Amino acid sequence: MGVGEVKAIVGESGSGKSTLFELITGELKPLKGEIKTQKISQIFQDPYSSFHPTYSILNQIKEVASLDNLDELLGKLNLDYRLLEEKPHKLSGGQLQRCSILRALLQKPDLILADEPTSALDNITQLEVMKLLMGFLDRVGILLITHDENLATWCCDEVYHQGS
């Protein structure tokens, strides 16, 4: 996959989407062969469980990424710097998912793996977050893992179906 490409893997719960995700990230090793990857960052399904509850968002981002381009990305993601100084439980689901996108982008990946990145959000916030994420296709490619066929069809160049 290259910069500007958006592909989706669509399937029902239990069809192996998350297992495939773990194989791509290297968390699981394939029984045969190998998976070659680019520089990857991740956006997880549940923004509240993807951040440690007792540390500020900013400290957690600093642990994994450079803060180069922070101000530019904050503006594009409609985030205030003061929110980064808060602990995760102080933010709304949409704000926290935008912080997840910020963290992923600050890692300067070639590819973002987005595992159900909008499933914990209401419909309006889902659309807002996906539009924001799509606004960064000049920097990254995106592999979306979802059960939402409509979302995949709306935003992806190619959709692959994972059978159960």
Average the pLDDT over 46-56 and give the result.
92
Tokens of 88: 């995760």
Task: Tell me which residue range forms the domain holding 49.
Answer: 6-161
Instruction: Tell me if 160 sits within 8 A of 26, measured CB to CB.
Output: no
Kindly state the helix (H) or strand (E) to which residue 42 belongs, with its residue range.
strand 40-43
Q: Are strands 111-115 and 40-43 parallel, antiparallel or unpaired?
A: parallel
Decide if 49 is inside a domain: yes
Decide if 46 is inside a domain: yes
Residue closest to 159 by CA, chosen among 2, 9, 13 = 9
Q: What are phi and psi of 114, to 5 degrees?
A: -115, 105
Average the pLDDT over 131-157 and give the result.
90
Decide if 1 is inside a domain: no
**pTM of the full predicted structure?**
0.86
Query: Using the 8-state DSSP alphabet, how is residue 91 labeled?
Result: S
Decide if 56 is inside a domain: yes
Cβ contacts of 92 within 8 Å, gap of 6 or more: none
Calpha distance 109→114 (Å, rounded): 12
Q: How many domains does the chain have?
A: 1
Decide if 152 is inside a domain: yes
What is the tens place of the pLDDT at every residue in 115-143?
Answer: 888 877 778 878 888 888 898 899 999 99
